[in-house]
Structure 1
Amino acid sequence: MSRASRVVIVGDVITDVVAVLSGPLATGSDTPAEIRFGGGGQAANTAAWIAAQGVAVTLVGAVGDDAAGRDRVAELSDGGVDCAVDRVGGAATGTVVVLAADGERTMVTERGANLRLTAAHVERALAEAPDAGHLHLSAYTLLDAGSRGAGLRALAAARERGLTTSVDAASAAPLRRVGAAAFLAWVRDVDLLLVNADEATVLAGGLDPAAQARVLSATARRVVVKRGAAGAVWVDRTATVSVAPARRVAVVDVTGAGDAFAAGLLTAWLGGAEPQAALARAGDLGALAVATVGARPTR
């Protein structure tokens, strides 16, 4: 893929309500926090970070025909993302409440219009992006039964058009609900699979990260296990193993860090970088993300 090729990202567009707690959550009482409203969603966040690196990117997703949906599309467009986002009547734009504390975050989610993303809309969006060279799929699209057809069609249509493909495994709890066997069948032979430590354990068992990645490389041509402060591991089918440490930074909010990591990894790898350099670029963007509140790059 050349540097000029467009990246198409398929998946969720969300309003994030991020509460960075000052201390442990006081159940049944009050906990002081810094609270911010803004754009979120794994796919939308990754698209925003890719656009911030000057790479052409199209986001394919769905929002409600409401003020929140209009705001989410407007801020992405302002950030340089080309939005092929369907406005769905009768559905609300998705919302996530994020509770961030002690370097972790807990999410309470209303998927909303994201469940209404259709295969037909994905097909149209790809047809309108003839300069695309790569398709990246947020696995939330596969993990939700309502949008699963759109996710499966996105991968199939990308292959038919000769695009390379990648999938971010999204979240351990819904992966556990659908089961490893089903998910791995859906993403078989993608060019790159990204998983965090919890997702890798769901999909490959309680092995060390390199061993988990080797197991998953039977499904995907390349696998990256994201390990947060412990760095990341890359394994491909040639048995190449690359390990990169994480940058040491003061953590403010980890929301969107994995999405920034994915954006750095994709743009570097698609631009021809070797695994070690791609992991380093991914780590740089992940570190930048955790140093600020919110899931998107600052401008």
Structure 2
Amino acid sequence: MTDIVVLGSTNMDLVTYVAKAPQRGETVMGREFRTVPGGKGANQAIAAARAGGNVSMIGAVGNDAFGTRLRSTLEHSGVDTDDLRTVEGPSGTAHIVVDDEGGNAIVVIPGANGTLDHLSPGDEGVIAAADTLLLQLEIPVAAVLAGAQAAHRHDVRTILTPSPAQPLPDELFAAVDLLVPNEHEATTLTGRTDPREAAVGLLDLVPAVVVTLGAAGSLYVSRDTDPLTVPAPKVTAVDSTGAGDTFVGALAVALGEGRPMPEALAWAAEAAALSVTREGATVSMPYRPEIEERHAS
């Protein structure tokens, strides 16, 4: 079993389901509202745990009801929360609108995640003992940088999801082994709209890149190999919230188990495909037997 540490956000997702998302100034009627534990960090932790990884979470929740539920959800999914602190104030929230085509729009309020601007005593030891560190950008960049540099010092594979997309310091890229942006994030980082051109451009910053392409699959480029495109399984999407995080969590497990990159990408794609056929983020993430069964078929 591969050991994975996630340094990142925990949010309560406040999800509204509508036929069509409202335009600016428009009011529409929704059909359903749910509160679902999420956050890109927690999402990736739960996805990796369900995919078979031994996962620890470094993060922060508030001392509110959302914080209690977020911690409980992580623990129920098999994630170690010894390094998930509880701080004064509200937990992070994500306000999500999901339309009938499975698309979504999201506004994130950091809450407790905003306090996570450095590593606490003991965090580096947790990272050093892992095979892989997963990072995202819903916590202050200072903590992301500190985590990446700690992993780099201890030869721990570091995978960064650059979301929400934003300018990043060169020191962070220097400590990242694999960058996993979606098409929008790759364009934001490079200014190039073509995914392949953007991916190749990112190789000036990191040694390897996977650009996720939604229903079109994923594109892998590295400094040592030819570009590789892996198609996504054909499914009927119900809700794409959390699909990218499911992909990254499953990919971390596959790589940690030593699977070759083409197989690891295909396995992660099966996990993501399963997740979009269900509503919600963490609640939609598949368990390892489901992924294995779909991959085998």
| TM-score with structure 2 setting the length | 0.89
Q: From 6, 9, 13, give the equivalent of 2:6.
A: 9
Does residue 20 (structure 1) correspond to residue 13 (structure 2)? The answer is no
Q: What displacement does 1:189 show?
A: 4.3
CA distance in 1, matches of 2:119, 2:129: 19
For the residue of structure 2 that corresponds to 1:73, the secondary structure is helix
Q: Deviations over 1:6-39 (max 9, x none)?
A: 1111010000011121234385544122222111
Q: How does 1:14-93 map to 2 (within 5 A)?
A: 14-25=11-22, 28-83=26-81, 84-89=83-88, 91-93=89-91
Structure 2: 5+ residue stretches without partners: 288-297
State the match for 1:244 in structure 2.
Answer: 230
CA distance in 2, matches of 1:202, 1:291: 28
CA distance in 1, matches of 2:204, 2:26: 47
CA distance in 2, matches of 1:8, 1:41: 15
State the match for 2:178 in structure 1.
Answer: 192
State the match for 2:196 in structure 1.
Answer: 210
CA distance in 1, matches of 2:49, 2:217: 24
- Retained in 2: the 8 A contact 1:20–1:253? no
CA RMSD of aligned residues (A): 1.8
CA distance in 2, matches of 1:124, 1:118: 15
CA distance in 2, matches of 1:69, 1:19: 21
Specify the code of the residue in structure 2 equivalent to 1:93: S
Give the length in aligned residue pairs: 282
State the match for 1:162 in structure 2.
Answer: 155
CA distance in 2, matches of 1:187, 1:104: 30
Structure 1: 5+ residue stretches without partners: 142-146
Specify the code of the residue in structure 1 equivalent to 2:148: L
Specify the code of the residue in structure 1 equivalent to 2:164: S
Q: Deviations over 1:195-219 (max 9, x none)?
A: 0000111112224322221111121
- Retained in 1: the 8 A contact 2:52–2:253? no
Q: How does 1:79-118 map to 2 (within 5 A)?
A: 79-83=77-81, 84-89=83-88, 91-101=89-99, 102-118=101-117
For the residue of structure 2 that corresponds to 1:106, the secondary structure is strand
Specify the code of the residue in structure 2 equivalent to 1:23: K
State the match for 1:144 in structure 2.
Answer: none
CA distance in 1, matches of 2:192, 2:141: 27
CA distance in 1, matches of 2:102, 2:146: 36
Q: From 218, 224, 227, give the equivalent of 2:213.
A: 227
Percentage of matched positions with identical amino acids: 32
CA distance in 2, matches of 1:282, 1:275: 10
State the match for 2:187 in structure 1.
Answer: 201
Higher alpha-carbon deviation: 285-294 or 155-164: 155-164
Does residue 265 (structure 1) correspond to residue 251 (structure 2)? The answer is yes
**Residues 266 and 5 of structure 1, relative CA distance in 2, 3 Å threshold:** closer
State the match for 2:241 in structure 1.
Answer: 255
Specify the code of the residue in structure 1 equivalent to 2:188: V
CA distance in 2, matches of 1:128, 1:203: 30
Specify the code of the residue in structure 2 equivalent to 1:11: G
CA distance in 2, matches of 1:28, 1:103: 20
